[in-house]
């Protein structure tokens, strides 16, 4: 199966390991992975800030970049969720609506792709440690992916999985929200950090680097000893 990797700008620039793990997992599952280099950002920062025209520039570029892809897979519920919104954004646009629909239909979040498209529930990885999972808002509520990440995590050998209390609560990232309304965002991430600490987990896992960068940055600032990692890291560990 041919898969085009949608790396997401945040992982491309800030967290390249997420991309490396994603590539290796998909290859191990028998996919042929390519990386269309014309891809940029999904457009969400501008879109959510209300800058529709600026956002559309990015979106069109993404549509062009993945025009020939069979499947597009990205390690982020939020960014994939944005692509799934493209048809809505370009509704009534005679040139772009159809290609937007085509891209949305073939784009999947990593765990969603593994479970729903490849039909795999156990990627065969081994990971020792106590792990809790933050179900990010866009992954669960925009994209509707609730079970896939948990199914994959629970099938990892050696893992001790604990539920995160009030996991469905937003961590306060919200893209530009975190710098536009920093006081509110701060209270939200403090609360999330408290909930993570309550679990006694050594690792906080999630499927969206934006949220993890926020929670991880806060926990580090608080001197908390919790490692915050993307789910692909666990799914690509075999020790």
Partner 1 sequence: MSLKLEDIPFEEGVQKGIENDFMRQAVSGAQGRFRAGRLKQAQELGNWEDWRKLGEEIRTHTVNHIDFYLHQLSEQVEKRGGHVYFAETAEEANSYIKQVIQTKNAKKIVKSKSMVTEEIGLNDALAETGTEVVESDLGEWILQLEGDHPSHIVTPALHKNKEQIRKTFAQKRGYTGSSEPEELAAFARKQLRSDFLQADVGITGCNFAIAESGTITLVTNEGNADMVWTVPDTLITVMGMERIVPTWEEMEVLVGLLTRSAVGQKLTSYITAYTGCREEDEIDGPNDYHLVIVDNGRSNALGTEFQAALHCIRCGSCINVCPVYRHIGGHAYNSVYPGPIGAVLTPVLDGYDDHKDLPYASSLCGACTEACPVRIPLHEMLVLHRQKIVENGDTPFAEKMMMKGVGMWGGSPFVYKMSTKLAHSALKPWTKDETIENGPGPLKAWTAVRNLAAPPKQSFRSWFENRKKDGEN
Q: Which is nearer to partner 1, 122 or 168 (CB)?
A: 168
The verdict on 197 binding partner 1 (CB under 8 A) reads no
Burial pattern 131-152, b for ≥16 Cβ within 10 A else e, equals bbbbbbbbbbebbebeebbbeb
Residue 59 CA to residue 72 CA, distance in Å, equals 14
Rounded to the nearest whole angstrom, what is the least distance from the CB of residue 125 to partner 1 in the complex? 21
Stretch that binds partner 1, among 36-44, 112-120, 148-156, 229-237 (CB under 8 A): 36-44
Alpha carbons 49 and 60: distance in angstroms, whole number: 18
Tell the smallest beta-carbon distance from residue 74 to partner 1 (Å). 12
What is the C-alpha to C-alpha distance for residues 147 and 126, in angstroms, rounded to an integer? 20
By C-beta, is 59 or 235 nearer to partner 1? 59
Tell which positions 121-140 bind partner 1, by CB under 8 A. 137-138
Judged by beta carbon, residue 129 or residue 217, the one nearer partner 1 is 217
Binding mask 5-34 for partner 1 (x = CB under 8 A): x-x-x-xxxxxx-xxx--x-----------
- How far apart CA 210 and CA 79 sit, in angstroms, is 10
Here the tokens at position 134 are: 């933050």
List the x/- string, 213-232, binding to partner 1 by CB under 8 A. Answer: xx-xxx-xx-----------
Residues in the chain: 239
Is residue 53 exposed (0-12), middle (13-18) or buried (19+ Cβ within 10 Å)? exposed
| Residue selected from 174, 196, 201, 204 as contacting partner 1 according to rule CB under 8 A | 174
DSSP string for residues in 196-237: HHHHT-SEEEES-HHHHHHHHHHHHHTT---EEEEHHHHHT-
* β-bridge mates for residue 205, sequence order: 133, 229
| Subset of 41-60 contacting partner 1 (CB under 8 A) | 41, 43, 45-55, 57-58, 60
Binding site for partner 1 (CB under 8 A): 5, 7, 9, 11-16, 18-20, 23, 35, 37-41, 43, 45-55, 57-58, 60-61, 65, 137-138, 141-142, 168-170, 172-175, 177-191, 213-214, 216-218, 220-221
């Amino acid at each position: 199966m041919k898969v085009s990797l949608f790396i997401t700008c945040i992982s491309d620039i800030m967290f390249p390991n997420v991309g490396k793990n994603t590539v290796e997992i998909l290859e191990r599952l028998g996919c042929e992975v390519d990386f269309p280099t014309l891809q940029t950002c999904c457009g969400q920062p501008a879109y959510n800030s209300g800058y529709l025209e600026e956002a559309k520039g990015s979106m069109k570029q993404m549509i062009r970049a993945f025009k020939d892809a069979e499947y597009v897979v990205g390690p982020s519920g939020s960014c994939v969720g944005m692509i799934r919104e493209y048809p809505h954004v370009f509704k009534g646009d005679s040139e772009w609506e159809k290609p937007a629909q085509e891209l949305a239909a073939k784009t999947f979040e990593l765990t969603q792709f593994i479970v729903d498209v490849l039909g795999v529930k156990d990627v065969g990885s081994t990971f020792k440690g106590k792990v809790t999972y933050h179900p990010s808002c866009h992954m669960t509520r925009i994209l509707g992916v609730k079970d896939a990440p948990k199914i994959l995590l629970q099938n990892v050998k050696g893992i001790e999985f604990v539920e995160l209390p009030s996991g469905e609560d937003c961590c306060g990232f919200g893209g530009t929200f975190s710098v536009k309304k920093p006081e509110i965002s701060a209270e939200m991430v403090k609360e999330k950090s408290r909930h993570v600490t309550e679990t006694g987990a050594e690792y906080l896992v999630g499927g969206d680097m934006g949220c993890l960068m926020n929670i991880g940055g806060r926990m580090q600032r608080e001197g908390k000893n919790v490692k915050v990692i993307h789910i692909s890291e666990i799914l690509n560990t075999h020790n």
